[in-house]
Amino acid sequence: MVTTELLDDAAMGERLTRWLRARQPENSLTGLADHDVTVRRLAEGHSNLTYVVGAGGRELILRRPPAGPLLPTAHDVVREYRVLDLLARSNVEVRAPRVLAVCEDDSVLGAPFYLMERAIGIVIRDELPAWLDPSGQRTLGLDLAAALAEIHWVPVEPFVASGLGRAGGYLERQLRRWVGQREGIEAAVAAAGGRARGLPAYDAVRDWLRDHLPAEQPPAVVHGDYKLDNVVVSPGPCVAAVVDWEMATVGDPRADLGYLLSFWPEEGERFPLGDLVTGGPGFPTRAELVAVWEQGTGRPAGDTTWFVTLAVWKLAVLLEASYHRHLAGTTDDPFFATLEQGVPDLLAHAREVCGA
């Protein structure tokens, strides 16, 4: 396990000011250290923590892990920085923020962190903005699929050479990884003298995924967590930037497509964790998203059931780790308290999707 420290915003600002002044002159940070830095946490997302950093009229985004004991492979912001850096160096225009600096020294802010440019726009989570009418919803939904297709054109060779993914075996590794995450949760709880709760639907879906493992497509760079609230939306409407690259790697791009579809209810459907804004009257259908992705990538999607099932199942595993952070008292995110029932509901939904 890895343990990180969480400072309040004022203390972070003071330490970040000293760190920036010690790093001058770096072109990407020029002028920032001439001012006292302010830091404000954004109350968005439930994984890595995101802050707005202000100095001299300029705003940047800082990303760092949450506080408390963490699984060694989780919340790796240094890896996330490396992914974004490689995307910027590729010959494909991907809508991702430009990274500026990274710090691996825990003594600065209590955990590793990186800085990137702030994309102009909003993140849509629980409520649609007033300016996004049904026509705009359709435009945004189709652009979301188009932006995903752009990612899947990025050459994979630099990512493989940098150890950020492997060219084959992705789907099997995904199963191993998320089984390992579940086992890691159980081991951590046992080490603390407790016992992780049983989740029978988890086992049923795991076995179904193993028994129905599809043949892989040629590899692509995959985001790993691609959905509406992981993009910045600008009026137009359009996707201004794709964010939260924590789980990016090289693999079968249909895993990203399945993940997007898993958060895209059709008429009359309900997502286990609550209503989703993508169920609005103007948003395109899942079939329309698939068609845009197929046209943008030149790849056939085929039957997406396996990939949607994987998406819901691994989200449940990820959120079970967050639920145990809530039980341990190492997070103040009220969403995590709802996972007592939310995780079992997600697993039941995954089981329903695949018929396990």
Please write the tens of the pLDDT for every residue from 289-336: 999 999 999 999 999 999 999 999 999 999 998 898 888 887 777 888
> Among the three residues 56, 86, 117, which one is the final residue of a domain in this structure?
117
Q: Are residues 158 and 110 both part of a single domain?
A: no
- 250, two tokens: 């090289």
Query: 127 lies in a domain?
Result: no
Query: 75 lies in a domain?
Result: yes
Range of the domain at 81: 2-117
CATH number at residue 97: 3.30.200.20
Say if residues 24 and 55 touch (Cβ distance below 8 Å). no
pLDDT level of residue 43 (50, 70, 90 thresholds): low
Q: Please give the full DSSP string across 229-290, using - where no structure is assigned.
A: GGEEEETTTEEEEE---TT-EEE-THHHHHHHHHT-PPTT---TTS--GGGSTTSPPHHHHH
Position 344 pLDDT exceeds 90: yes
Q: Are residues 155 and 302 both part of a single domain?
A: yes
Query: 34 lies in a domain?
Result: yes
Query: 152 lies in a domain?
Result: yes
> Among the three residues 87, 117, 147, which one is the final residue of a domain in this structure?
117
- 87, two tokens: 């995307």
- Separation of CA 24 from chain center: 32
Residues forming beta bridges with residue 51, ordered by sequence position: 41, 62
Please write the tens of the pLDDT for every residue from 203-244: 999 999 999 999 999 999 999 999 999 999 999 999 999 999
Cα distance between residue 245 and residue 195, in whole Å? 32
Position 3 pLDDT exceeds 60: no
Q: Are residues 314 and 204 both part of a single domain?
A: yes
Quote the percentage of the chain above a pLDDT of 90.
69
Q: Are residues 328 and 228 both part of a single domain?
A: yes
Q: Please give the full DSSP string across 203-232, using - where no structure is assigned.
A: HHHHHHHHHTPPPPPSPEEE-SS-SGGGEE
pLDDT level of residue 338 (50, 70, 90 thresholds): very high
pLDDT of residue 36: 80
Position 168 pLDDT exceeds 70: yes
Please give the residue that has the higher pLDDT: either 34 or 9.
9
pLDDT of residue 69: 54
Q: Are residues 275 and 327 both part of a single domain?
A: yes
pLDDT of residue 329: 82
pLDDT level of residue 4 (50, 70, 90 thresholds): low
Q: Are residues 263 and 140 both part of a single domain?
A: yes
Query: 128 lies in a domain?
Result: no
pLDDT of residue 7: 77
pLDDT of residue 42: 83
Q: Are residues 148 and 254 both part of a single domain?
A: yes
pLDDT of residue 257: 98
Q: Are residues 212 and 327 both part of a single domain?
A: yes
Query: 124 lies in a domain?
Result: no
pLDDT of residue 205: 98
> Among the three residues 92, 117, 142, which one is the final residue of a domain in this structure?
117
pLDDT of residue 309: 98
Please write the tens of the pLDDT for every residue from 71-104: 455 568 999 999 999 999 999 999 999 999 999 9
State the average pLDDT for the chain: 90
Query: 182 lies in a domain?
Result: yes
pLDDT of residue 30: 67
Cα distance between residue 94 and residue 242, in whole Å? 8
pLDDT of residue 229: 94
Q: Are residues 155 and 303 both part of a single domain?
A: yes
Dihedral (CA of 290, 242, 253, 219) sign = positive
Q: Are residues 199 and 339 both part of a single domain?
A: yes
CATH number at residue 186: 3.90.1200.10
pLDDT of residue 37: 86
Query: 38 lies in a domain?
Result: yes
Domain count, the chain: 2
pLDDT of residue 25: 61
Position 276 pLDDT exceeds 90: yes
Q: Are residues 299 and 165 both part of a single domain?
A: yes
Q: Are residues 105 and 184 both part of a single domain?
A: no
Quote the percentage of the chain above a pLDDT of 70.
93
